[in-house]
Amino acid sequence: MKILVTGGAGFIGSALIRYLIQDTDNDVVNLDKLTYAGNLQSLHSVDSSARYSFVQTDICDALKVAEVFAQHQPDCVMHLAAESHVDRSIDGPAAFIQTNIVGTYVLLEEARKYWSGLNPQKRAAFRFHHISTDEVYGDLHGTEDLFTETTPYAPSSPYSASKASSDHLVRAWHRTYGLPVVLTNCSNNYGPYHFPEKLIPLVILNALSGKALPVYGEGLQIRDWLYVEDHARALYKVVSQGLVGETYNIGGHNEKRNIDVVHAICELLEEFVPVKPEGIAAYKELIQYVKDRPGHDLRYAIDASKIATELNWTPQESFETGLRKTVRWYLDNENWWKQVLDGRYQLQRLGQGDPQV
């Protein structure tokens, strides 16, 4: 297949592309606007492949998106391009409405027009895979409850509301126009190349520099953690084997309280980097409880039995093995995250990088 990946320079998108190039025979077209969260250096290991190409385009630009479809003739779309940071959505929701809702609409329309013009065989094989989040389901109140594919939507933040909206659009384009879609909703991802504003890389890098480790409220929020490379394998399973019109929840089977995640990172750093910043006797001394986020959901947890039963996918990493790999990766890849922290990675957005086009 030739797969059009939107948002392929982001955290999950780049993991997906690395997997597609390194572990499958598919061709990949990466369409990415290169916002602050897009980083082409995350694709350095595969960007010289003849099966990979990059196009810098905003998914809200219908003319440019139509040109990409016409030029590259993809067999399927894997749509990951999105604004995804909850705190940023609270401070500035407009960008989330534009990218996540309007951008998804534009992409659906251009995909529909392209799909409508294909020959019958290619029309039947085409897929539009929309990648979403478990946050659309809102908060779980019972300690044993799990999100299933039929859990009612109850988003709490501007981010999750915009993703819920995009999910509804995708299903509407399937029912109204017959566009062959599949959807996935995933739990919290973590792993290599994660942008440092997110919890796990933020704690790792702050601890290494002796900065405070901020924890919302009392850190009792529970999340199901999914190693990003496990997620990439699941996404390919769905786009290549999933049934049209179906939704698949993807989870890591790893429910952890935020405070326990922070403590686990501190323990790994004690093992890997026993020599600490001056004045610090233990990394956990840096933990600082801060005012909770408005509307903060307490617990998310995914029932991933459907994708396990129907598509034979289960995560390979436990939280313990995945977190160990993640902390080790950040210790071994200072050049990547230092260029993010000092802003040098953003030179690519100004045409000063060296992406393959």
The Cα–Cα gap between 64 and 68 comes to: 6
Going residue by residue through the chain (357 aa), what tens digit of pLDDT does each one get? 999 999 999 999 999 999 999 999 999 999 999 998 899 999 999 999 999 999 999 999 999 999 999 999 999 999 999 998 888 899 999 999 999 999 999 999 999 999 999 999 999 999 999 999 999 999 887 778 999 999 999 999 999 999 999 999 999 999 999 999 999 999 999 999 999 989 999 999 999 999 999 999 999 999 999 999 999 999 999 999 999 999 999 999 899 999 999 999 999 999 999 999 999 999 999 999 999 888 787 888 999 999 999 999 999 999 999 999 999 999 999 999 999 999 888 886 545 444 333
Look up the pTM and report it: 0.94
Residues catalogued as catalytic: 134-135, 159
Cα torsion angle, 334, 336, 337, 341, sign:
positive
Cβ(7)–Cβ(35) below 8 Å? no
* Residue from 16, 8, 181, 28 nearest 108 by CA: 181
Cβ(99)–Cβ(82) below 8 Å? yes
Cβ(76)–Cβ(129) below 8 Å? yes
3-state secondary structure at position 215: strand
Walk me through the domains of the chain, giving residue ranges and CATH numbers: 2-350 (3.40.50.720)
